[in-house]
Structure 1
Amino acid sequence: MQLAAASGLMSLVLFIVAVAVLALLAGGFWMTSRVRYNEAPRPRPEEQPKLPPEGPVRELRENRESADVPVTAKGDRPLTPYELTNMDSRPSASKERPRWSRGSSGSFGGGGLGAH
């Protein structure tokens, strides 16, 4: 019976927890306002980016081919990644867009049914 009885100590603990939560929320708002005050001001309308005089930039679509990996002679040791240069790409002569196989999503785990 004594455990079930209302206790003034329990009410005091709940009140202190509620005050602590309110203090944390108020501190969060205070810190946010300090950070925002120290940030650079937002750009004015005249400082916003403008279109170039020749108009909007158009999209360029082209297929790219990667450079071939150098072939080592038979019996030579294989090249390490450090011996390979930055593999650049070049424009492709083909204008046809590469496609994935029919029924494939084109990625592993993409959720498609895959090729059947």
Structure 2
Amino acid sequence: MNTSWMDIAAGRGALAGGLIVAGVVVVAVLIGAFWLGIRVKRREPPRPTPAEQPRAPEGGPVREVMENREPNEVPRSDHRLTPHRMPGHGNAGSRSGASEERPRWDEGSSGSFGSGGAGGR
């Protein structure tokens, strides 16, 4: 009977020893990762100084331009149209269009299209 308790105690000792070894391995891996991170950080270029930071243009920041553009429709054809067959190889620029009033939200309407609600109209 004493022999079985000794075997169990010996097994627990081996398990405890294995956990200690695993813990030491995990700590060693974490220390190695920290050390490697420091080495990688040292190889990076230094942060830019305030004098090296980008500046706004002298004329001030660039403003948004709101304008209507002329539509550039894809020509209809019986053949499959590839960018190589399109005028300008598919890179044709657009032109400014006539100034038109853009549709805006109306007071009293639902504010969304196709909502199904009465929307006040």
Aligned-partner Cα distance in 2 for 1:40–1:17: 37
Per residue, is there more strand in 1 or in 2?
1
Q: CA RMSD in A?
A: 3.2
Matched, 1:23 2:25: no
Unpaired runs of 5+ residues, structure 1, are: 104-114
Cα deviation, 1:18-67, whole Å, max 9, x if unaligned, reads 11111111111111111110011100111111122112221223344552
* CA offset digits 1:75-98 (Å, max 9, x no partner): x53334553432546244334169
**How many pairs were matched up?**
102
State the match for 2:113 in structure 1: 102
CA distance in 1: counterparts of 2:15 and 2:21, whole angstroms:
10
Identity %: 38
TM-score of the pair, normalised by structure 1 = 0.65
TM-score, structure 2 normalization: 0.63
Structure number with greater Rg is: 2
